[in-house]
């Protein structure tokens, strides 16, 4: 272990950085900002997520993953008190419920507006 190491930020590639920042900012209730010329969200000065347009054309990941297609570039699991209410709110904000589900009653896989899969998980 490296002494004193912390995650400085997490960067997410996407086609429309401002829109994705706004989606996750609203979903999580985090502050929306611009840091290092990138749309960003930050929680209590602790964790920062940057949304960046890649140097090449952005390609949405496929879910579930399949051979020879763009694989997911990240995956968040968010814990929630009321799973069904959280899913409904995420969909209202612009997420889509993934066609393939593997979580039973414990978690639901959704796709953010840029196609990244993430899960809402029962606490």
Q: How many domains does the chain have?
A: 2
In this structure, is the dihedral angle defined by the CA atoms of residues 72, 78, 84 and 86, taken in order, positive or negative? negative
pLDDT (0 to 100) of residue 64 = 83
Angstrom distance (rounded) from CA 66 to CA 29: 33
pLDDT tens digit string along 17-57? 999 999 999 999 999 999 999 999 999 877 899 999 988 88
pLDDT at residue 92 in the model: 98
Q: What are the φ and ψ backbone dihedral angles of 89, each rounded to 5 degrees?
A: -65, -40
Sheet (strand 107-111) strand order = 76-80, 117-122, 107-111, 96-97
In a domain, 121, yes or no: yes
pLDDT in tens, 69-108: 776 777 899 999 999 999 999 999 999 999 999 989 999 9
- CB contact set of 47 (below 8 Å; sequence gap of 6+): 7, 9, 10
Residue range of the domain that includes 90: 59-123
Q: Say if 80 falls within a structural domain.
A: yes
Question: Given this model, what pLDDT does residue 75 score?
Answer: 85
In terms of Cα–Cα distance, which of 42, 35, 40 is closest to 20? 40
The CATH number covering residue 23 comes to: 3.10.180.10
Closest by CA to 80, choosing from 9, 44, 29, 39, is 29
Q: Is the pTM of this model over 0.75?
A: yes
């Amino acid at each position: 272990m490296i002494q004193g190491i912390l995650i400085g930020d997490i960067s997410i590639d996407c086609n429309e950085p401002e829109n994705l920042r706004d989606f996750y900012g609203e979903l999580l209730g985090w502050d929306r900002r611009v840091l290092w010329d990138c749309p960003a969200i930050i929680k209590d000065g602790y964790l920062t997520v940057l949304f960046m347009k890649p140097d090449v054309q952005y390609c949405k990941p496929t879910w579930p993953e399949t051979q020879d297609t763009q694989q997911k570039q990240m995956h968040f699991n968010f814990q929630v008190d009321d799973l069904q209410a959280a899913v409904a709110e995420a969909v209202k904000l612009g997420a889509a419920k993934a066609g393939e589900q593997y979580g039973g009653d414990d978690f639901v896989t959704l796709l953010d507006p840029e196609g990244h899969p993430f899960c809402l998980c029962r606490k």
